[in-house]
């Protein structure tokens, strides 16, 4: 996975990128715009110089991703089509970092900056802590007592994300389109600080391939065939347990079991 923090100088890109790397369980490498310019001795801030610097970032991202690293990028990269070109070849979580606060970096703003318009996470760092901002980003965290800091939602796949309109047609056959409103609703949950995971009996590889096909893999931190700790579980066949006496009575009349 490549995580690209984009936005104007002073918004908090590098701060969030470094904080994320400390919590990430994967083998991460950080690419920072200023560091890259120093490395390649490119201090040309014209459009030509910026494009040359961004192209170096794109090439590095593809190389490191191919080698199995989790790549964390904090680069302004004002040109949307260049950032989007990476999404066409690699799995990218784009994070648009912005603020209304004056932070002293305004003179370095790119006047031709183009905001992302689709498949991105928006983080307004105005008045929030680094920890609060990180909660909006789905990534694999170190297993160090993180559940008390996060609101984790386990989501079933079939009938909840995958429309599943014809019912079961084989474990390998995730044949349908996304459920109506699923993408928008899941994105809204992430924006409100929830961490999303998929828990399903369908093979993990099949689900991950389906998510990539429908450009939804960036929404989920994990896909699993085993139960894991979560604050709440969303399942189209789920039953909310109260007590056994009530459960037995309701099961006897449940439509899924009375057919």
pLDDT along the chain (259 residues), means of 10: 92 92 88 76 75 89 92 92 93 93 85 91 92 87 56 93 93 95 92 90 94 92 86 87 86 73
Give the pLDDT confidence score for residue 169 in this predicted structure: 92
Residues 225 and 157 in one domain: yes
Looking at residue 22, what is its pLDDT? 87
| Residues 197, 125 share a domain | no
Query: Are 99 and 126 in the same domain?
Result: yes
Residue 93 lies in a domain: yes
Residues 46 and 167 in one domain: no
Residues 8 and 92 occupy one common structural domain = yes
Answer yes or no: is 232 within a domain.
yes
Residue 71: give its domain's CATH number: 3.40.50.300
> Does residue 140 form part of some domain?
no
pTM, two decimals, is: 0.58
At 145 the pLDDT is 47
Per-residue pLDDT tens digits for 70-111: 999 999 899 999 999 999 999 999 999 999 989 888 888 888
Is 61 in the same domain as 101? Answer: yes
pLDDT of residue 193: 84
* DSSP codes of every residue in 157-201: SBTTTB--TT----TT---SPBPTTHHHHHHHHHHTTEEEEEE-S
pLDDT at 84: 94
- Same domain, residue pair 76 and 197: no
Q: What is the pLDDT of residue 67?
A: 92
Q: Is residue 207 part of a domain?
A: yes
- Looking at the structure, tell me whether residues 51 and 128 fall in a common domain: yes
Q: Are residues 129 and 166 in the same domain?
A: no
pLDDT at 148: 43
- Domain with 14 in it: 2-134
**3-state helix vs strand vs coil in the chain, percent to 5:** 35, 20, 45
164 found inside a domain: yes
238 and 116 within one domain: no
Pick the closest to residue 120 from 93, 97, 102, 101 (CA basis).
93
Residue 259 forms part of a structural domain? no
Residue 165 and residue 229 share a domain: yes
CA distances in angstroms from 75 to 96, 114, 239, listed in the order given: 11, 13, 46
| 141 inside domain | no
Count of domains in the chain?
2
Q: Are residue 121 and residue 156 in the same domain, yes or no? A: no
């Amino acid at each position: 996975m490549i995580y690209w923090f984009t936005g104007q100088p002073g918004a908090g890109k590098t701060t969030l990128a470094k904080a994320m790397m400390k919590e990430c369980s994967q083998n991460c490498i950080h690419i920072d715009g200023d560091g890259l310019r120093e490395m390649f001795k490119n201090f040309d801030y014209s459009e030509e110089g910026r494009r040359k610097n961004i192209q170096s970032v794109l090439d590095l991202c593809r190389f490191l991703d191919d080698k199995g690293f989790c790549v964390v990028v904090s680069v302004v990269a004002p040109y949307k089509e260049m950032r989007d070109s990476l999404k066409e070849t690699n799995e990218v979580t784009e994070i648009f970092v912005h603020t209304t606060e004056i932070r002293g970096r305004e003179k370095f703003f790119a006047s031709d900056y183009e905001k992302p318009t689709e498949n991105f996470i928006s983080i307004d760092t105005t008045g929030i802590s680094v920890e609060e901002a990180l909660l909006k980003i789905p990534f694999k965290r170190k297993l160090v007592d993180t559940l008390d800091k996060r609101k984790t939602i386990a989501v079933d796949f079939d009938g909840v994300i995958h429309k599943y309109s014809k019912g079961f047609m084989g474990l390998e056959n995730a044949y349908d389109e996304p459920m109506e409103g699923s993408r928008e609703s899941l994105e809204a949950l992430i924006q409100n600080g929830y961490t999303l995971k998929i828990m399903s009996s369908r093979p993990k590889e099949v689900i991950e391939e389906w998510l990539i096909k429908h450009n939804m893999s960036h929404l989920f931190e994990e896909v699993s065939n085993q139960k894991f700790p979560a604050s709440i579980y969303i399942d189209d066949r789920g039953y909310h347990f109260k007590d056994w006496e009530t459960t037995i009575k309701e099961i006897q009349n449940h439509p899924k079991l009375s057919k």
